[in-house]
Amino acid sequence: MALLQISEPDEILAHAPLQKKIIVGIDLGTTNSLIATIEDDKPVLLKDNNNNDIIPSVVHYSKNDILVGMEAYNKKLSDPTNTISSVKRFMGIGFSDIKDYKSLPYQFIQKDGLIEINTNCGIKNPIEIASDILKHLKQIANNHFNREVTDAIITVPAYFNESQRLATIQAAKLANINVMRLLNEPTAAAIAYGLDNQNNIQEQTKDGAKCLVFDLGGGTLDISILRLYQGVFEVIAVNGDTMLGGDDFDYGLYCYILEKEHLNALTNEDTALLLNTCKKIKEDLSSKNKSCCTLLLSNKRLLNLSITQDEFKNISQKLIDKAINLVHNALTDANILPDAIDKIILVGGMSRVPFIKHALQEVFNAEILNHIDPDKVVAMGAAIQADILAGNNKNDWLLLDVTPLSLGIETMGGITQKIIHRNSTLPIIKTQQFTTFYDNQTKLLIHIVQGEHDLVAKCRSLGRLVLEDIPPMKAGEPRIVVTFQIDADGLLSVSALETTTNKATTIAIKPSFGLTEDEMTALLKL
Ligand code: ADP
Ligand code: MG
């Protein structure tokens, strides 16, 4: 038996038109985006007009034109202010969360705490910029299939919170793409490796085989621990950092060079040029011990740069330590020791850096899988999943995800009552019964919070729901059933029902933007 079958497939099949349903898999990456489908039972990546299947997640805005992909990437040096890259880092977060915005060449605008960027083509927010990337990917699919493709599975980092997931869905909507499912990127990678197939991973213990997916991309680190038990694939823990990726290694190297070469007050163009050079040096060092290059700054100063792998490793040590710490946190979440891991999957372009692999080898004895191109493996997994959702694949798969933070409500005295616990398997519905505190209380305010702390003040407020028209009764008499439901995409809706009158209220949680990484870390503290 293989993976997956959470939900809708039957419904989809019931309404399926005679024409084969197309659902594409999209890896909307921080650095690169890819779109894939299944042909002859194999995942294939779709190519743009220039025959590229790895599309830089870069958008260039000029007065009358929007360029996406490599053409936009090529404008980075000549027009850095209007060439937006790594927009995924800004999705669903607040302005105060951008730590390094001073080093970025964009004209940021802070509007009601949210991020906007002034471009030659007008003011754009991150969702609009992401939607321009998605429109481009959709066009690639339309060209490939010779018809409009509207349905997609889009992958997101497992650690994305509700704001970031919603922002992704909103970006898709703007691009006229219907998101059939958000799929966690590491889960997609594991699907691409076919770890559901028991020939690929043995169920060595009675508790099932375990695999750790380490995905270090351009902007995020995603760690997932998956368990394969009796043919079912379950994500038992997710951890990571939405602000740790290749960009940070580039930036570390950039700062090192600034200091070493006594450079200050670089122009926007020089900053972009040097950051780009750092990225190339870093990539070069994955296959060489030393990387040398020269760089001409706008003040005509010629920089002769030479960086060794050891030097780069030293510069990056803090980031490596941070990544390995998060690996240990994931193991703690899953309540297992490193030796319990049977396989490790490396995902993301940064997983090619030799000292990253070495750092993992120091922790684990497990075999490290990296034979599928780490840039493409997520999109391939998304395409496989999409094919199943479209009803084209008769495999009977079960795929389970987990919620990264506990969800609950505020009770008397500002105490958190957890309703769905952290790392619960998704989709999930949980109910809990509450009652009134005063006689003749006709309203009940339900304050929904996310976090691990017992005190509401130390958790994050997600929203408030007011249940009105409760018939006047003695305190403690009304029976109010609160239901928390998280769908397979990780999106939460909360409803409250007063059972004597059947009066119900529901809200879908649209959390306020601006959960910082530090806040996320704080929320995880018990
Ligand atoms: P994302 O998922 O964020 O779009 P990718 O998985 O495409 O990211 O990874 C992009 C990152 O991988 C960039 O920081 C890039 O510089 C880095 N990268 C790509 N190839 C290599 C390489 N050969 N060595 C080191 N880093 C690499
Ligand atoms: Mg990625």
What confidence score (pLDDT) does residue 11 get? 34
Q: Decide if pLDDT at 320 tops 60.
A: yes
pLDDT, average across residues 510-515: 41
Nearest to 77, CA basis, from 98, 93, 58: 58
Between CA 53 and CA 37 the distance in angstroms is 12
What is d(CA 181, CA 385) in angstroms, rounded to the nearest whole number? 9
Ligand closest to CA 186 = 2
User: What atom in ligand 1 is closest to the CA of residue 246?
Assistant: 14
Long-range contacts of 227-231 (CB under 8 A, 24+ apart): 228/195, 228/196, 228/198, 228/201, 228/203, 229/203, 230/1, 230/203, 231/1, 231/2, 231/196, 231/198, 231/398
From atom 13 of ligand 1, which residue's Cα is the shortest distance away?
A: 218
Inform me whether the pLDDT recorded for 514 exceeds 50: no
Domains, in order of start, for the chain: 24-181 (3.30.420.40), 246-314 (3.90.640.10), 407-508 (2.60.34.10)
**Does the pLDDT value for residue 1 go beyond 50?**
no
Residue 26 Cβ < 6 Å to ligand 1: no
Q: Which pLDDT does position 453 carry in this prediction? A: 84
Instruction: Using the atom order of ligand 1, give the atom closest to the CA of residue 88.
Output: 3
Ligand 2 mean position to 347 CA, how many Å?
7
Contact 386, 23 (CB under 8 A): yes
One DSSP character per residue, 15-34 reads T--SSPP-EEEEEE-SSEEE
Contact 307, 285 (CB under 8 A): yes
Per-residue pLDDT band at 401 (split at 50, 70, 90): low
pLDDT at 347: 95
The position carrying tokens 């038992």 is 236
Mean pLDDT within 57-85? 94
Q: Is 283 in the pocket of ligand 1 (CB under 6 A)?
A: yes
Around ion ligand 2, residues with a beta carbon closer than 5 Å are 29, 217
Catalytic pick from 79, 116, 185, 250?
Answer: 185
Q: % helix / strand / coil in the chain, to the nearest 5?
A: 30, 30, 35
89 lines ligand 1 (CB under 6 A): no
Q: Which residues face 33 on adjacent strands?
A: 28, 55
Residue whose tokens read 């408030």: 464
From first CA to last CA, the distance across the chain in angstroms is: 38
Establish whether residue 60 lines the binding site of ligand 1, counting it when its CB lies within 6 angstroms of any ligand atom.
no
Residue with CA at minimum distance from ligand 1 atom 12: 349
- 447-479: pLDDT as tens digits: 888 888 888 888 877 878 888 888 888 888 888
Structure tokens at 18: 């005679």
CA 217 to ligand 1 centroid distance, Å: 5
Residue of higher predicted confidence among 197 and 16: 197
Q: What contacts 22, CB < 8 A, 6 or more positions away?
A: 37, 141, 145, 147, 149, 151, 390
List pLDDT tens digits, range 185-219: 888 998 898 875 655 555 455 567 899 999 999 88
pLDDT band (50, 70, 90) for residue 488: low
Q: Is 138 helix (H, G, I), strand (E, B) or coil?
A: helix
Over the chain, what is the mean pLDDT? 85
Would you say residue 489 has pLDDT above 70?
Answer: no
Distances (CA, A) of 369 to 4, 43, 372, 381: 22, 18, 8, 15
Q: Which ligand is nearest to the CA of 217?
A: 1
Residue 222 is a catalytic residue: no
**Confidence check: pLDDT of 525 > 70:** no
What's this model's pTM, rounded to 2 decimal places?
Answer: 0.72
pLDDT band (50, 70, 90) for residue 495: confident
Q: Tally helices (H) and strands (E) across the chain.
A: 11, 29
Listed range (22-26, 277-281, 402-406) with the worst mean pLDDT: 402-406
Confirm if 30 and 425 have CB atoms less than 8 A apart: no
Pocket probe mutation, ligand 1, options 357, 375, 376, 377, max atoms within 8 Å of Cβ: 375
Cα separation, 126 vs 114, in Å, equals 10
DSSP symbol at 81:
G
219 pocket-lining for ligand 1 (C-beta < 6 Å): yes
Least confident of 165-169, 219-223, 419-423: 419-423
309 lines ligand 1 (CB under 6 A): no
User: What pLDDT is recorded for position 512?
Assistant: 38
Locate 28 and state its tokens. 């909307």
Read off the pLDDT band of 520 (50, 70, 90). very low
Residue 19 — pLDDT band, cuts 50, 70, 90?
A: low
Among residues 48, 76, 79, 88, which one is catalytic?
88
In the reported structure, the alpha carbon of residue 215 is separated from the centroid of ligand 1 by a whole-number distance in angstroms of 10
Reduced to 3 states (helix: H, G, I; strand: E, B; else coil), residue 147 is coil
